[in-house]
């Protein structure tokens, strides 16, 4: 889909194959696309990608989640050191696909299962893998709170984070040697009544160590011209997300940002695109390799940085990611559905123009008032990065091809 009836106009999104949509007027194009069709609700599609139908419009909201499920599909990890094969003949010959890096991580879905000489293999997006080398991910059932339907006990409030993921012991005084005053469950919500000596009072005679809490505090609305009334605040220190409509907080939850401080840099970002399901992978310049074949409910605010469902861990409230904002599946879907504009039914990807788009503020104690992110500069940088990535990929593939052609090269001569 394009914003205008021309292939050199900005893309506006992608529609799932087989979707039946009403169309508006047609306009003449050029030799690359002779006829353009106006799509509903917006955008233009080249007529060569469409055919008329006598059936009524029919579209399915993406991604499709079966009843009673948290996610569209079951997801699996591939065990460290497992072999991946391009074809069944390669399995029989023992010719495995090369690994891009020494440390590689893959998360995939199961497609076709095949029997190869008595052993069971599974077709995945990264090749044939022995069924015994796959392990299933079990997604978190954690979810944030609707602050309108279920107001918090007080502002500020906090989630309890237990190191053993079970309970945290409170003390009668703000002292680690104080007498026990009961326990609080992992991710239980408590009021923040008073702070002293590294402790927080959550009830009369009940103090919890500050390090065992993730505190949610109301934040002022960013002063940005031509911004949507809805916006999202991300506190990197607390790993707490709060969504606002104007000045009113409407939803709060825990997230996981980048493990290193520069992975999710502080700034005022904009919502730039939405993908019902997308693939995510490490870039060539990264030290390790990862590839996640299907990531649901991905809402992008910067190149390579998304809100998205993370079904492979349940450490929300602790930095875990490569830079994206990891959310539990229910929370990722909430963000995807709530953020504007809404994804049209039948679409899988939607690009968002900057004027009027939603603000995402990423901040911490050192950067309480971060600047607007420069998307024009990012576009220039991405051109350079893409060229460098292509060069690095070409060199890696050439080295892999050379190794495959000569699997037992002579040992390197000893150093003088």
Q: SS3 for 221?
A: coil
3-class SS string, 66-135: CCCCCCCCCCEEECCCCCCECCHHHHHHCCCCCCCCCCEEEEECCCCEEEECCEEEEEECCEEEEHHHEE
Entry pTM: 0.92
3-class SS string, 135-199: EECCCCCCCCEECCCCCCCCCCEEEECCCCCCEEEEECCCCCCCCEEEEEECCCEEECCEEECCE
157-160 and 145-146 strand pairing:
unpaired
- Check: CB of residue 236 under 8 Å from CB of residue 362: yes
Q: Give the sign of the dihedral formed by CA 344, CA 347, CA 352, CA 358.
A: positive
Which CATH architecture fits 156-216? Roll (2.30)
pLDDT at 414: 60
What strands, in cross-sheet order, belong to the sheet with 33-39?
23-30, 33-39, 44-46
pLDDT at 404: 75
CA distance 166 to 183: 10
- Burial class for 281, CB neighbours closer than 10 Å (0-12, 13-18, 19+): middle
pLDDT tens digit at each of 416 positions of the chain: 999 999 999 999 999 999 998 888 899 999 999 999 998 778 899 999 999 999 998 999 999 999 999 999 999 999 999 999 999 999 999 999 999 888 899 999 999 999 999 999 999 999 999 999 999 999 999 999 999 999 999 999 999 999 999 999 999 999 999 999 999 999 999 999 999 999 999 999 999 999 999 999 999 999 998 899 999 999 999 999 999 999 999 999 999 999 886 789 999 999 999 999 999 998 888 888 999 999 999 999 999 999 999 999 999 999 999 999 999 999 999 999 999 999 999 999 999 999 999 999 999 999 999 999 999 999 999 999 989 999 988 988 888 888 777 766 555 556 55
305-309 and 325-327 strand pairing:
parallel
- Domain 230-375 sits in CATH at 2.40.440.10
Tell me where in the chain the CATH 2.40.440.10 domain(s) lie. Answer: 230-375
Which of 60, 61, 41, 37 lies closest to 49, judged by CA?
Answer: 37
Distances (CA, A) of 328 to 75, 138, 294, 314: 14, 11, 15, 7
Tell me where in the chain the CATH 2.30.30.40 domain(s) lie. Answer: 156-216
């Amino acid at each position: 889909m394009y914003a205008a009836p021309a292939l050199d106009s900005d893309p506006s999104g992608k529609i799932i194959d087989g979707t039946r949509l009403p169309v508006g007027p047609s306009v003449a194009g050029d030799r690359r696309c002779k006829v353009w069709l106006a799509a509903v609700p917006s955008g233009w599609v080249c007529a060569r990608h469409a055919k008329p139908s006598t059936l009524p419009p029919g579209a399915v909201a993406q991604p499709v989640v079966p009843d009673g499920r948290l996610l569209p599909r079951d997801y699996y990890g591939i065990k460290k050191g497992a072999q991946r094969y391009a074809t069944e003949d390669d399995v029989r010959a023992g010719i495995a696909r090369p690994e891009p890096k020494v440390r590689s991580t893959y998360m995939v879905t199961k497609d076709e299962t095949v029997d190869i000489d008595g052993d069971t293999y599974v077709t995945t997006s990264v090749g044939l893998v022995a069924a015994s080398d796959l392990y299933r991910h079990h997604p978190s059932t954690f979810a944030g709170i609707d602050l309108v339907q279920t107001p918090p006990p007080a502002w500020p409030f906090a989630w309890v984070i237990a190191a053993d993921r079970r309970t945290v012991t409170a003390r009668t005084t703000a002292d680690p040697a104080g007498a026990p005053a009961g326990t609080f469950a992992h991710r239980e919500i408590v009021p923040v009544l008073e702070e002293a000596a590294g402790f927080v009072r959550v009830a009369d005679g009940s103090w919890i160590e500050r390090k065992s809490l993730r505190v949610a505090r109301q934040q002022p609305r960013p002063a940005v011209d031509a911004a949507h009334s809805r916006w999202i605040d991300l506190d990197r220190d607390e790993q707490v997300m709060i969504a606002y409509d104007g000045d009113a907080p409407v939803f709060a939850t825990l997230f996981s940002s980048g493990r290193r401080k520069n992975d999710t840099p502080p700034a005022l970002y904009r919502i730039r695109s939405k993908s019902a399901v997308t693939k995510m992978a490490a870039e060539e310049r990264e030290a390790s390799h990862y590839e996640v074949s299907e990531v649901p409910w991905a809402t992008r605010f910067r190149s390579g940085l998304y809100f998205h469902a993370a079904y492979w861990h349940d450490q929300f409230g602790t930095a875990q990611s490569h830079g994206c904002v990891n959310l539990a599946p229910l929370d990722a879907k909430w963000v995807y559905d709530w953020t504007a504009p809404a994804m049209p039914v039948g679409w899988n990807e939607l690009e968002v123009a900057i004027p009027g788009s939603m603000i995402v503020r990423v901040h911490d104690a050192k950067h309480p008032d971060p600047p607007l992110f420069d998307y024009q500069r990012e576009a220039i940088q991405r051109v350079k990065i893409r060229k460098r990535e292509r060069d690095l990929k070409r060199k890696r593939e050439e080295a892999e091809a050379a190794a495959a052609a000569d699997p037992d090269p002579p040992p390197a001569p000893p150093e003088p």
